A and B are shown apart, each in its own frame.
Chain A
């Protein structure tokens, strides 16, 4: 590790430490926004780990999230909370591995629609199973507070960043960059592209499932419509793309402004919330096609150009 690496790590740790202080301010409003930011940061960053380099748009986040929620919901009465988090991760990872092995040879829009359908299919299977077993409502009643949930999400965020950082520095990351540039070249140079892609998909799947498990106590009552809401998958994609998927921290700078914007719209225009959110989506697509990271790079280039000129 170079001095620069240490510097980055320390900066990140300090920022995380500052973020962890939020609940201590006692401001419930900022904390509730903080939970949203932390949740979407984890989801969008882990999404971008896979989709950034491979350019596969996955809409399966809701499927993994829902699986995690249901692992927590159905296990909480028989098992301790902490054992359910790794279990949820395992379930999400397994599902991702299965799906990845089966579908990563699909390309483009086929993969997109497949992942969108996946969440619905898992939801159908879960509800059917519950129906067969005569299930009476899934409640997750715990003593966990908003602050506990927030801290858990922050911890998970730290893990995701560490994992992302490690991946970038590893052979896997190198392989990914080549795949992203040109999959043919990658295959010819002896990289097992399928395996690399599945590995990353598994990472994003298990992280999303863990988030679902952490959020479950916040929902208290788990129902399929909210656990498998397709909205979630789209929000994650929009936020990640708004930030930019080229950098590890890209999604974060998409999540924060987006969450705040969402909040401002919900608070100020209660009767037109959906309408205005839609307009904002459109604006993002048109004005910031490469996200904030792209914008910054463009500004950077312009500055350099000007300097070179002078």
Chain B
């Protein structure tokens, strides 16, 4: 029961009639490997899998990809890597050798992407990552020339968060005192380690600083201590369960700060649903230009096809990675991987997140770094060159 999936019978039928004679062409086989179970399955279920579903249904709804004048449908083969790098490696290899996949979409998360990078490299697949965050882009793109980075670098993500606080301070809204906490796991540790010197350099005073283990069930001691330090701003380099946990504790403790920042998952629609009005003014990683018609249209389609809203950080990036692949295949007019990879390097792409033009290190230089909940939407307030940033608001209590 190999599930060569996501081709709903109705869509297929419609596509066939639309595409007429073209449907006889062989489909393009596209592999997808990401967690469906394991510790990262929760994140992948929000950001990764729904976009693949959306993209496939749209492309096939249009009658497939135009490859050198020939319309070809896409066929996706999905594998669950159980959040285990060994399985990611095996699955990508399996896709390359057994399923003869024409392309393999990048896996989910920094760790799984890097574990699989040598396999992508070996088979010449372009690996357009949308959920890998690293400060080693130069070294990595040197070693893996087919690896592209959409999500940006920790330095910028952290740097912009500090700049936002700095702007608030210069406007006289907050003082120097910042409480900073982080989850003691790879990404959280990296962000905190990057942030500390930047904060100090900017003249901020870290009045409370700590880490807590992944999976901590009670964050109230953290929040109580943070509150006792009486900070002007609270910053947490957090993961999904603790982003929710910290916010809830902040509400209960009535943490009185003018700036409140939590990292991963702040941009999830579930965050807004969970906290409602209390989410107003909360800042987090990511952001989008919610006024952009492209993004609005994308969000509506995402909702319609997958039944859930996209998050306002990596979801759009994930979809952009698929658009880039699509445009590169059609633009290059071939499924030759080397040609397509070169095409991605040489061209700029129009995506739901705006134009993406990779630099010489395969890095997307323009991305959103900080967003904020404003009027029930998570909007971008800082970026490395994207249009549509809205001004930052002061956090006015938790009601």
| Direct A–B touching, Cβ under 8 Å | yes
- B139: interface (CB < 8 Å): yes
Interface centre among A138, A219, A225, A269 (most CB of B within 10 A): A225
Cα A36 to Cα B84 in complex, Å, equals 13
Q: Cβ of B79: which chain A residues have Cβ within 8 Å of it?
A: 266-267, 270, 273
- Of residues 74 to 116 in B, which have CB atoms within 8 Å of A's CB atoms? 77-80, 82-87, 89-91, 93-94, 96-98, 110-111, 114-115
Q: Cβ of A223: which chain B residues have Cβ within 8 Å of it?
A: 110-111, 185-186
- B134: interface (CB < 8 Å): yes
The answer to whether B83 and A225 have CB atoms under 8 Å apart is: yes
The answer to whether A219 and B85 have CB atoms under 8 Å apart is: yes
Q: Cβ of B1: which chain A residues have Cβ within 8 Å of it?
A: 268-269
- A107: interface (CB < 8 Å): no
The answer to whether A271 and B111 have CB atoms under 8 Å apart is: no
The answer to whether A266 and B182 have CB atoms under 8 Å apart is: no
Which of B83, B84, B90, B194 contacts A32 (CB under 8 A)? B90
Cα A219 to Cα B214 in complex, Å, equals 21
Known: A29-B94, A135-B189. A127 touches B114 (CB 8 A): no
* Contact size range, A: 35 or more
Q: What's the nearest-Cβ distance from chain B to residue A23, in Å?
A: 13
Contact with A along B163-184 (1 / 0, CB 8 A): 0000000000000000000101
- A134: interface (CB < 8 Å): yes
The answer to whether A32 and B93 have CB atoms under 8 Å apart is: yes
Contact with B along A17-51 (1 / 0, CB 8 A): 00000000001110111001000000000000000
Cα A36 to Cα B89 in complex, Å, equals 10
Known: A219-B85, A223-B185, A226-B111. A27 touches B97 (CB 8 A): yes
Q: What's the nearest-Cβ distance from chain B to residue A81, in Å?
A: 16
The answer to whether B186 and A225 have CB atoms under 8 Å apart is: yes
- A13: interface (CB < 8 Å): no
- A137: interface (CB < 8 Å): yes
Q: What's the nearest-Cβ distance from chain A to residue B8, in Å?
A: 16
A263 and chain B: residue at smallest CB distance? B90
Q: What's the nearest-Cβ distance from chain A to residue B118, in Å?
A: 7
The answer to whether A266 and B143 have CB atoms under 8 Å apart is: no
- A124: interface (CB < 8 Å): yes
The answer to whether B111 and A221 have CB atoms under 8 Å apart is: yes
- A192: interface (CB < 8 Å): no
- A131: interface (CB < 8 Å): yes
The answer to whether A137 and B2 have CB atoms under 8 Å apart is: no
Q: What's the nearest-Cβ distance from chain B to residue A67, in Å?
A: 17
- B213: interface (CB < 8 Å): yes
The answer to whether B136 and A226 have CB atoms under 8 Å apart is: no
- B193: interface (CB < 8 Å): yes
- B337: interface (CB < 8 Å): no
Q: Cβ of A220: which chain B residues have Cβ within 8 Å of it?
A: 114-115, 117-118
Q: Cβ of A134: which chain B residues have Cβ within 8 Å of it?
A: 192-193, 196
17 A-B pairs with C-beta separation under 8 A: A28-B97, A32-B89, A127-B184, A131-B182, A136-B193, A137-B186, A138-B186, A218-B86, A223-B111, A231-B82, A263-B90, A266-B91, A268-B2, A269-B1, A269-B3, A271-B36, A274-B36
Beyond A32-B94, A33-B90, A226-B85, 13 extra complex contacts between A and B, CB < 8 Å: A28-B122, A29-B96, A29-B98, A32-B93, A36-B86, A136-B135, A136-B193, A221-B114, A221-B115, A226-B84, A267-B2, A269-B1, A274-B36
B positions within 8 Å CB-CB of A = 1-3, 36-37, 39, 77-80, 82-87, 89-91, 93-94, 96-98, 110-111, 114-115, 117-119, 122-123, 134-136, 139-140, 143, 182, 184-186, 189-190, 192-194, 196, 211, 213-214
A positions within 8 Å CB-CB of B = 27-29, 31-33, 36, 124, 127-128, 130-131, 134-139, 141, 145-146, 218-221, 223-226, 229, 231, 263, 266-271, 273-274
